[in-house]
Amino acid sequence: MIRTYDSLQEVGYLADNGKTLRADAIAEVSIAVTRRYEKDEQGRERGREYVAHLYFRSARTDEPIVTYERSFSSVEEICDLFGIDDIDEVWEIID
């Protein structure tokens, strides 16, 4: 059975009480990638891992639904997961 809910409050109540819900109206999923660094024994910063931040926005209200964060060992691993073939054309550097 598919039912449309009018409020995130009602959805949150159902999720909090063990119900599994699926949202079909997600308009945008964007990925921001940062790199975590750590200092070695000489005090130099070395790249440790990449962190992908995934942002899901609602199609109906254009508000953020959820932000998800996951660590990766390389940018290539992120591209493989999301099916990104040409990494030169996909990424935008945000200062």
Please state the domain extents for the chain. 24-89
Q: With contact defined as beta carbons under 8 Å apart, do 82 and 76 qualify? A: no
pLDDT value at residue 95: 55
DSSP conformational letter for 12: H
Phi-psi region at 43: left, alpha or beta (left = phi > 0; alpha = psi -120 to 50): left
Q: What is the pTM of this model?
A: 0.53
Tell me the sheet residues that pair with 69.
53
Half-sphere exposure of 92 (CA within 13 A, CB side): 3
pLDDT along the chain (95 residues), means of 10: 66 78 70 85 84 82 82 85 71 63
